[in-house]
Amino acid sequence: MAGYSEPNENHVTSGDNSESPENESEVSIDALARKVQESLSLAKRHKFWETQPVGQFNELGDTSLPEGPIEQPTPLSEVKQEPYNLPSPYEWITCDIDSEEVCAEVYNLLTNNYVEDDENMFRFNYSKEFLRWALRPPGYFRSWHIGVRVKSSKKLVAFITGIPARIRVRNTVVLMAEVNFLCVHKKLRSKRLAPVMIKEVTRRVHLENIWQAAYTAGVVLPTPVTTCQYWHRSLNPKKLIEVGFSRLGARMTMSRTIKLYKLSDQTATPGFRKMEPHDVPAVTRLLRNYLQQFAVAPDFDVDDVEHWLLPKEDVVESYMVESSETHEITDFCSFYSLPSSILGNQNHSVLKAAYSYYNVSTKTPLLQLMSDALIVAKKKDFDVFNALDVMHNETFLKELKFGPGDGKLHYYLYNYRLKHVLRSSELGLVLL
Ligand code: MYA
């Protein structure tokens, strides 16, 4: 991932509105000039990304271009055999995430240097268990877990990963790399290390005869296949307000706010229970069938479902609805656990966030299913439940009192062109 997001408050603009019309027009001409300048330099802005096989901004709307791979694979013998050059103080390493020591180094790098919100109040704090889960799906390649160390001190200062995934784009299942956890130590930013890291992961993906990738980012790059918005549902409004994640609404008191977000102690759906190992085949069928309707979605088999959706304490939670008569599994919901460090608050250091993952409703209305998901997340002591506006999520967000976030999350494909930008609801893919 990732893009960071916090609840989006409608700020009431204060300040002096008594400017003369003259001033006003100067301001707007200035703003216009800036906009024109920005749009003119847009094409020059991505020295690295312009050289890559990704949709370019100037191709937007050009429907004459074919859908599918942008470049054809090259023979494996022509793939560069040695790593890209790093500036001389640094060296490549392949990270053995099974090693407790290496995992701790990666965890520390990310905990101190990974994605923050725009105001630098929160930073993602993926747990070690989460990282092991995220990086070792079926068929993973250790060579795609790439670190950069300082040669002299051996300190880990940068990281990038890929994992293999079958992603269906419309009717074609494409073997891809999902690229994530790109991180450069704060002290080494803006030195063009990121492009070298991206080229190196690309080279190592090519060596496995894989030529496409999927990734998400909070920044705009050439060119998103879709742009999603995060929504947030307060579970512990008092703490969220105390740490500055959300604000007390206009004409609201703390006690009214707590009451507004109060949830029932009990889930409502008969037969709602935690997923167990023997459910894997039924969940796989349910999910495969459901994901077919989206333009871009993972092509999960039983091994993927076992890895990605079987509950793992403090990492991923999955619940389903089993009919008491037929024992048929009719509905499914899941969320993963991604806490954030709270930067500079005296009383709280961690924000516990649940992120909506894959949800399927065939019999229980999605609204009721997700209301039960909120109840179990609250029971597990999460402070907030986050969801993107992907798949059918828009149908429950407002009603279940989610508020829109300020951050956007852009989805990208590498070396695969789509003719049209997708609506977020056409996307059936959630990356971690
Ligand atoms: S998204 C999470 C990214 N991580 C963070 O936001 C953590 C905090 N930030 C940092 O650690 C650094 O700021 C990073 C950039 C490392 C992000 N995705 O080295 P630079 C371009 C892609 O001087 P730094 C995630 O993990 C930027 O536009 N490109 O910059 C998915 C510019 O290029 P151009 C990005 O700030 C990652 C160049 O890098 C991103 O020191 C998917 C500047 O380099 C970004 N998030 O470091 C990676 N941010 O001039 C792509 C900046 O052209 C995978 N840049 O605009 C592609 C598929 C590869 C496999 C293909 C297989 C076939």
**Could you tell me the CATH number of the domain that includes residue 407?**
3.40.630.170
Give me the pLDDT at residue 372, please. 99
Q: What is the pLDDT of residues 221-239, one digit of tens each?
A: 999 999 999 999 999 999 9
- Asked if 121 and 244 count as a contact pair (C-beta separation under 8 A), the reply is yes
The answer, yes or no, to whether any atom of ligand 1 lies below 6 A from the CB of 148, is no
Mean predicted confidence (pLDDT) in 302-318: 98
Burial letters for 378-415: b for 16+ Cβ neighbours within 10 Å, e otherwise? beeebbbbbbbbbbbbbebbeebebbbbbbbbbbbbbb
Burial, 278: exposed, middle or buried (Cβ in 10 Å; 0-12, 13-18, 19+)?
exposed
Would you please indicate which residues are annotated as catalytic (active-site) residues?
432
Place of tokens 């603009």: 13
Q: Whose CA is nearest to atom 45 of ligand 1?
A: 217
Q: What is the pLDDT of residues 11-46, one digit of tens each?
A: 332 333 333 333 444 445 445 544 544 554 555 589
For residue 102, give Cα distances in angstroms to 22, 72, 91, 155.
62, 36, 15, 11
Mean predicted confidence (pLDDT) in 67-72: 98
* 348 has pLDDT over 70: yes
Burial, 56: exposed, middle or buried (Cβ in 10 Å; 0-12, 13-18, 19+)?
middle
Q: Do you find a cis peptide bond into 214, omega within 30 degrees of 0? A: no
Q: Whose CA is nearest to atom 5 of ligand 1?
A: 115
Q: Which of 87, 105, 86, 88 is nearest to 97 (CA)?
A: 105
The CA 412 to ligand 1 mean position distance, Å, reads: 12
Give me the pLDDT at residue 2, please. 65
Q: Which of 156, 184, 216, when mutated, tests ligand 1's pocket best, judged by the most ligand atoms within 8 Å of its CB?
A: 184
Q: Whose CA is nearest to atom 15 of ligand 1?
A: 194
The CA 109 to ligand 1 mean position distance, Å, reads: 16
Q: Which of 385, 399, 384, 371 is nearest to 264 (CA)?
A: 371
Mean predicted confidence (pLDDT) in 278-296: 98
Mean predicted confidence (pLDDT) in 51-77: 94
Give me the pLDDT at residue 23, please. 43
Q: Which of 115, 124, 182, when mutated, tests ligand 1's pocket best, judged by the most ligand atoms within 8 Å of its CB?
A: 182
* 1 has pLDDT over 70: no
Ligand 1, atom nearest to 196 Cα: 19
Q: How far apart are CA 133 and CA 202, in angstroms?
A: 22
The answer, yes or no, to whether any atom of ligand 1 lies below 6 A from the CB of 165, is no
The answer, yes or no, to whether any atom of ligand 1 lies below 6 A from the CB of 202, is yes
The answer, yes or no, to whether any atom of ligand 1 lies below 6 A from the CB of 398, is no
Place of tokens 């149908």: 395
Q: What is the pLDDT of residues 86-116, one digit of tens each?
A: 999 999 999 999 999 999 999 999 999 999 9
Q: Is 349 left (phi over 0), alpha (psi -120 to 50) or beta?
A: alpha
Q: Which of 44-48, 270-274, 315-319 has the lowest mean pLDDT?
A: 44-48
Q: Which of 155, 62, 24, 32 is nearest to 102 (CA)?
A: 155
Q: How far apart are CA 392 and CA 424, in angstroms?
A: 9
Give me the pLDDT at residue 131, please. 98
Give me the pLDDT at residue 313, please. 98
Range of the domain at 379: 1-432
Q: Which of 217, 226, 169, 214 is nearest to 425 (CA)?
A: 226
* 416 has pLDDT over 80: yes
Ligand 1, atom nearest to 194 Cα: 19
The answer, yes or no, to whether any atom of ligand 1 lies below 6 A from the CB of 409, is no
* 363 has pLDDT over 50: yes
* 178 has pLDDT over 80: yes
The answer, yes or no, to whether any atom of ligand 1 lies below 6 A from the CB of 201, is yes
The answer, yes or no, to whether any atom of ligand 1 lies below 6 A from the CB of 189, is yes
- Look at the chain and report how many structural domains it folds into: 1
Give DSSP secondary structure letters for 366-394.
HHHHHHHHHHHHHHTT-SEEEEES-TTTH
Task: Provide the 3-class DSSP secondary structure of residue 312.
Answer: strand
Q: How far apart are CA 161 and CA 183, in angstroms?
A: 10
Mean pLDDT, rounded, of the chain: 93
Burial, 91: exposed, middle or buried (Cβ in 10 Å; 0-12, 13-18, 19+)?
middle
Q: Which of 12-26, 135-149, 274-288, 331-345 has the lowest mean pLDDT?
A: 12-26
- Asked if 309 and 283 count as a contact pair (C-beta separation under 8 A), the reply is yes
Query: What percentage of the chain exceeds 90 in pLDDT?
Result: 88
Give me the pLDDT at residue 422, please. 98
Q: What is the pLDDT of residues 75-92, one digit of tens each?
A: 999 999 999 999 999 999
Q: Which of 38-47, 49-58, 128-137, 234-243 has the lowest mean pLDDT?
A: 38-47
Give me the pLDDT at residue 349, please. 98
More confident residue, 310 or 26: 310
